[in-house]
Amino acid sequence: MQNCTGSDIPISKGDKLSTKQAPKIEQEKLEMVDKPYASLVGSLMYAQVCTRPDLAFVVSVLGRFQSNPGQTHWIAGKRVLRYLQRTKDYKLTFKRSDTLELQGYADADFAGCQDSLKSTSGFVFMFSGGAVSWRSVKQPLTAGSTMFAEFLACYEATSQAIWLRNFIISLNVVESIHRPIQIWNDNSAVVLFAKGNKRTKGSRLLDVKFIIVKEKIAQGYTDISHISTDRMIADPLTKGIPNAVFHRHVMSMGLRNDLNA
pLDDT tens by residue, 68-120: 999 999 999 999 999 999 999 999 999 988 888 999 999 999 999 999 999 99
**Do residues 235 and 203 both lie within one domain?**
yes
pLDDT at residue 198 in the model = 67
Domain with 54 in it: 19-88
Q: How many domains does the chain have?
A: 2
Mean pLDDT of 127-135: 97
Residue 235: pLDDT above 80? yes
Among the candidates 88, 116, 131, a domain finishes at 88
Residue 180 maps to which CATH number?
3.30.420.10
Mean pLDDT of 12-37: 97
* 239 close to 12: Cβ distance less than 8 angstroms: no
pLDDT at residue 2 in the model = 77
Mean pLDDT of 163-189: 95
Q: 196 exposed, middle or buried (CB, 10 Å; 0-12, 13-18, 19+)?
A: exposed
Of 39-43, 54-58, 229-233, 256-260, the one with minimum mean pLDDT is 256-260
pLDDT at residue 203 in the model = 53
Cα–Cα distance between 162 and 209 in angstroms, integer?
A: 14
| Buried/exposed 140-174: b ≥16 CB within 10 Å, e otherwise | eeebeebbbbbbbbbbbbbbbbbebbeebeeeeeb
β-pairing, 130-138 with 120-127? antiparallel
Phi first, then psi: what are they for 182, rounded to 5°?
A: -75, 125
Residue 173: pLDDT above 90? no
Cα–Cα distance between 261 and 259 in angstroms, integer?
A: 6
